[in-house]
Structure 1
Amino acid sequence: MNWLMLILGAGIGAPLRYLVDRAIRSRHETGFPWGTLTVNLVACTILGLLTGATIPTNLQHLIGPGLCGALSTYSTFSYETLQLARTGSQILAVANAVISVLAGLGAALLGQALANAFLN
């Protein structure tokens, strides 16, 4: 049953990632990959909440590796960072890498703190 929950979560997370990225790109026509950063930070926050909350195993599989695994994207983050560097935007490439890692860790810690404060 866990694998079914994972598939269901991924079926929601992957299209959601695409739609969020497209919506953000249509509003921000800069070279910075705001859409990818957004979905990755949302996934980090949700995973932080998940680690701090006590929920059933099936729901953990639905939300964790299912939804968040498909919503977040390390490969796109890597590709976009390399593209920034290759096209002469080294400062944006470094900023994307640093912001993504630090903000991702911060989002996960925030999510965990919120879960500990409100869900347990």
Structure 2
Amino acid sequence: MTVLLVALGAAVGAPARYVAGHLLDERWPWGTVLVNWAGSFLLGLLVARGVSGDPLALLGTGFCGGLTTYSALAVHVHDRGPRLGSAVALVTLVPAIALCALGFRLGTG
């Protein structure tokens, strides 16, 4: 059952990621950045709220896992070269970690 919940969540998250990237990724990969920020915040919130078991499989592993994309981030970083690629990495990762912490904080408060 858990595998099906993960697949169902990913079946929603992955197309949402694709649409965001298709609509917003150009010179700067805003779609990729935004889905990583949103997924990080949501995962922090879910964990803080004590979501576990099947709901976490569906929403955390499935949806957030399908929504976020560090493989596409790696491609964007590589394709933009050392300077702009480093900026893309920092603009994605630092806020994503902060948003995960914010989601966790809001979820426990």
Corresponding residue to 2:30 among 9, 30, 34: 34
1:79 partnered with 2:71: no
Q: Which residue of 1 aligns with 2:47?
A: 51
Alpha-carbon offset, residue 54 of structure 1: 2.0
CA distance in 2, matches of 1:55, 1:109: 16
Aligned to 2:18: 18
Please give the alpha-carbon distance, in whole angstroms, between the structure 2 residues aligned to 1:24 and 1:114: 28
Residue identity in the other structure for 2:92: S
- The one of 83, 105, 108 equivalent to 1:113 is 105
What is aligned with 1:68? 64
Q: In structure 1, what is the Cα distance between the partners aligned to 2:23 and 2:78? A: 23
Gaps of 5+ in 2: none
Aligned length in residues: 109
Counterpart code for 2:60: G
Max Rg structure: 1
The AA in structure 2 aligned to 1:17 is: R
**TM-aligned CA deviation for residue 24 of structure 1:** 2.2
Give the 4+ runs in structure 1 shifted more than 6 A. none
**Contact 1:32–1:92 at 8 Å: present in 2 too?**
no
